[in-house]
Structure 1
Amino acid sequence: MSKIIMTKQYFKELAAFNEWANTLACGWIDQLTDEQWNRTVVSSFTSIRDTVLHMISAENAWVERFQKRSEVRWLQTAFEGSKAAHVALWKQTSAAFQTFIEGFDEALLYTPLDFKRQNGEAHSIPYYQLFAHVVNHATYHRGQLVTLLRQVGFTGVQSTDLMGFYRLAQQRTESSSE
């Protein structure tokens, strides 16, 4: 595989997109009844709550790996918080990912991070690939979340597509230059 040229700016944009899209999703979650939040609706996970908790758990685990924490918490096995606590934790985790990217040394993008998966398998993958994975993983599950929300009768969703994020950024730039 030929070397792909990546920049910190690109990942800053992706992290900002991820936080924006997750914040939109948190707004939807805030509007759900507890029954909708916990209702069995099968996709990759058995409910909206379980899907959201998986997303938070994965993003948090990556942030902790990036920070070289010796023990990575897998929140999915232990977190029992309320819906509001899930939303707060999701916003906090997305902000932590964005903060990590903003402070990351661009010279290290191609440096592999040694880590272990939850099952103990050891891996070594360049940061740029892991950063892309974190955003892609969240995008994948946000798509599932939209379907799950519609299945429980919530229709107040909107696009969390990357192009939508870029269009909004362009509109803000154009209106600030007027």
Structure 2
Amino acid sequence: MTKQYFIELAEYNLWANNMVCGWLENISDEQWNQSITSSFNSIQETVLHIISAENTWLQRFRKEPVKWLQSTYKGTKEEHIALWKKTSEAFKLFVENFNEMELTKNLDFKRLNGTAYSMPFYQLFAHVVNHATYHRGQLVTMLRQSGFANVGSTDLLGYYR
């Protein structure tokens, strides 16, 4: 486990998120807001959840007060896309600038429900990427269900190729 490995994961996360953002730029507002049964009730809600989670982790990593965007953010589709790209880039930069000697150091944080936790940074970095991967997969299915079929693979192996 090296810092370089986590930089690659953060770069992959940015690459995959930017690919999905490209698809989202091509869907209608109706598709964006269409009710679809999944973890969240629309493409918009799923995208906002991914942004909110990544942003929350960045706030925790930086020791900033956590502001959960999912309950307050009301941007347009274009604003969501721009914020997602910005947040993913910020995560990548954070990992690039992270002190490798602290990868196994614990971050103390509170979940949104107030429960205290402590986990090593390397596990949390992996979690941020894995969480986004999980929901990007849902977005592929939701996009297809909304009638947008021009999707590709955001798989890690595709990034490495």
Class of the TM-score when normalised by the shorter of the 2 chains: over 0.9
Alignment-derived partner of residue 89 in structure 1: 83
Residue by residue, what CA displacement relative to the aligned partner does 1:114-159 show, whole Å, maximum 9, x if unpaired?
Answer: 0001100100000000000000000000000000000000011000
Higher-Rg structure is 1
Q: Which runs of 5+ in 2 are unaligned?
A: none
- Of 111, 130, 133, which residue of structure 2 is paired with 1:136? 130
Amino acid in the other structure paired with 2:114: G
Aligned residues between the structures: 161
- Of 22, 26, 51, which residue of structure 2 is paired with 1:27? 22
Alignment-derived partner of residue 145 in structure 1: 139
Alignment-derived partner of residue 59 in structure 2: 64
**Displacement over 2 Å in runs of 4+:** none
Alignment-derived partner of residue 118 in structure 1: 112
What displacement does 1:162 show? 0.2
- Of 81, 96, 112, which residue of structure 2 is paired with 1:102? 96
Amino acid in the other structure paired with 2:27: L
Classify the secondary structure of the residue corresponding to 2:83. helix
Task: Provide the rounded CA distance (Å) in 2 between the counterparts of 1:73 and 1:96.
Answer: 16
Structure-1-length-normalised TM-score: 0.90
Relative contact order, higher structure (CA 8 A, sep 6+): 2
Task: Provide the rounded CA distance (Å) in 2 between the counterparts of 1:73 and 1:21.
Answer: 25
Alignment-derived partner of residue 13 in structure 2: 18
- Of 39, 43, 60, which residue of structure 2 is paired with 1:48? 43
Structure-2-length-normalised TM-score: 0.99
What displacement does 1:73 show? 1.1
Task: Provide the rounded CA distance (Å) in 2 between the counterparts of 1:153 and 1:161.
Answer: 22
Task: Provide the rounded CA distance (Å) in 2 between the counterparts of 1:75 and 1:33.
Answer: 23
Classify the secondary structure of the residue corresponding to 1:76. helix
Classify the secondary structure of the residue corresponding to 2:107. strand
Alignment-derived partner of residue 158 in structure 1: 152
What displacement does 1:42 show? 1.2
Identity %: 63
